[in-house]
Amino acid sequence: MYSKDVSTPDRLIEATRELLWDRGYVGTSPKAIQQRAGAGQGSMYHHFTGKPELALAAIRRTAGELRATAEAALRGDTADDGAASAYDRISAYLRREREVLRGCPVGRLTMDPDIMADETLRAPVDQTLDWLRERLAGIVEEGLERGEFTPGLDAEEIASAILATVQGGYVLARASGSPAAFDSGVRGLLALLAPNRPRA
């Protein structure tokens, strides 16, 4: 499944990431990891002490990837090197390409009782969602200072609403089997944030 150029530890981590996303922690057995990674039991335990250490490495990598992808959208770089508006940066984050029907690879971990019960495994999940909420709040605050948003909005509450729209949108899309529910939630939130802008 993976190129021979990819190291064994990387293959094991990537296999674990995919399995955690699809099956959760309990469903991610060492045997399933080894089969997907094309690695033997001895090789797996040569690089990792066991499933918990491998799961932690996978969760950290997934969290880091989510941060990088979100930051790329939120940074708001434009072709002419001018800064995009706060609204446009939030819109770019909400509309970025996603595997909507698979759900959020970090958000889905919050529904896994085994991960939530383990402080070490839960930490990267909590830290990533906290980082995203704070990053969004900062952008909303910038927009408020520039007069882009309705005066009096609470930046932290709006950031939480943005995050809730994304995570709730995944749930609604998976329940209906269509990304339309996710897209509808995004359009609705953007209309509320900028009521004078026409809907896209």
Number of Cβ within 10 Å of residue 97's Cβ equals 7
Q: Does domain 62-193 have CATH number 1.10.357.10?
A: yes
Per the CB < 8 A criterion, the answer to whether 16 and 54 are in contact is: yes
Q: What is the CATH number of domain 1-48?
A: 1.10.10.60
| In 8-104, alpha helices (H) | 8-27, 30-37, 41-47, 51-74, 86-95
**Helix, coil or strand: residue 147:** coil
Is pLDDT at 77 greater than 90 in this prediction? no
Using alpha carbons, select from 24, 29, 50 the residue that is nearest to residue 116: 24
Instruction: Please say if the pLDDT value at position 58 is more than 80.
Output: yes
pTM above 0.95, yes or no: no
- pLDDT at residue 124 in the model: 97
What is the pLDDT of the chain when averaged over all its residues?
90
pLDDT at 20 over 70: yes
Query: In this model, does residue 181 exceed pLDDT 60?
Result: yes
- For residues 114 and 78, what is the distance between their CA atoms, to the nearest angstrom? 42
The model's pLDDT over 97-151, given as tens digits with 9 standing for 90+, comes to: 999 999 999 999 999 999 999 999 999 999 999 999 999 999 999 999 999 998 9
Q: What is the pLDDT confidence band of residue 6, given thresholds at 50, 70 and 90? A: confident
User: Within a 13 Å sphere around the CA of 111, how many CA atoms are in the beta-carbon half?
Assistant: 15
**pLDDT of 82:** 61
Q: What is the dihedral of CA 185, 190, 191, 197, to 10 degrees?
A: -150
Whether the domain at 1-48 and the domain at 62-193 fall into the same CATH topology: no
- Extents of the domains making up the chain: 1-48, 62-193
pLDDT at residue 195 in the model: 53
Beta bridge partners, 77, equal 83
